[in-house]
Amino acid sequence: MKRTAVIAAIFLLLCQALVASPDKALVVYFSATGNTEKAAGKIAAMAGADIARIMPEVPYTPDDLDYRNASSRASRESADADARPAMLPMEKDAEAYDTIFLGFPIWFGDMPKAVYAFLDEHDLSGKRIAPFCTSGSSGIAASERSIREMEPEAEILSGERISMRDTEEDIASWLSRLGTDRRTI
């Protein structure tokens, strides 16, 4: 009888430990004009994830973002494979999470160099990364390849371009597709 009680207690403790340490998810995003920030907020709310912003030390001005001007800051950074703007410290420790939703606007077909700087500064080996982007029209495939190259030991989940017209159902459908690949995030 006593032995059964001890086994039952151990079983209960194990169950509690499993419930107490669910998969931890963080939405990390860079946004210069607010679109990706909106998408990030929706994803964090729907996935029950924490959220943290990638912030360059020097914010981008409208002139910095002028993609028609080849000498604007964004144009110059995007054209330089080694450009990495200096970053402010993150509000959350990304390495303490199991799943990272990584969001950014598409700049010249790829991620802004601020996102490269984030990936340079963090070792996301063994984590799941779910990339998402906003853009005028470009897709996320090129950025997914860049993330895979920079984090070869992470599992890169199927990325999503979030349109400003997307509804919560559209986002829920992406989250559930991720959840069918793996356990629910």
Ligand X SMILES: Cc1cc2nc3c(=O)[nH]c(=O)nc-3n(C[C@H](O)[C@H](O)[C@H](O)COP(=O)(O)O)c2cc1C
Residues 121 to 150 in contact with ligand X, rule: CB under 6 A: 134-138
Q: From the list 97, 101, 107, 174, which residue makes contact with ligand X (rule: CB under 6 A)?
A: 107
Distance CA 182, CA 185 (A): 8
Separation in Å, CA 12 to CA 1, 4, 6, 17, 154: 17, 12, 10, 9, 33
Q: How far is the CB of 184 from ligand X (least distance, A)?
A: 27
First to last CA, the chain: 40
Residues 16 to 75 in contact with ligand X, rule: CB under 6 A: 31-37, 65, 67, 74
Q: How far is the CB of 95 from ligand X (least distance, A)?
A: 24
Count interface residues toward ligand X (CB under 6 A): 20
Q: From the list 49, 106, 124, 130, which residue makes contact with ligand X (rule: CB under 6 A)?
A: 106
Nearer to ligand X, 94 or 106 (CB): 106
Q: How far is the CB of 33 from ligand X (least distance, A)?
A: 3
Alpha helices in the chain (DSSP H): 2-20, 35-47, 73-79, 113-121, 141-150, 168-181
Report helix, strand or coil for 119: helix
Q: What's the DSSP call for residue 142?
A: H
Nearer to ligand X, 137 or 180 (CB): 137
Residues 151 to 170 in contact with ligand X, rule: CB under 6 A: none
Nearer to ligand X, 101 or 107 (CB): 107
Distance CA 114, CA 99 (A): 20
Q: Which spans of this chain sit near ligand X (rule: CB under 6 A)?
A: 31-37, 65, 67, 74, 105-109, 134-138
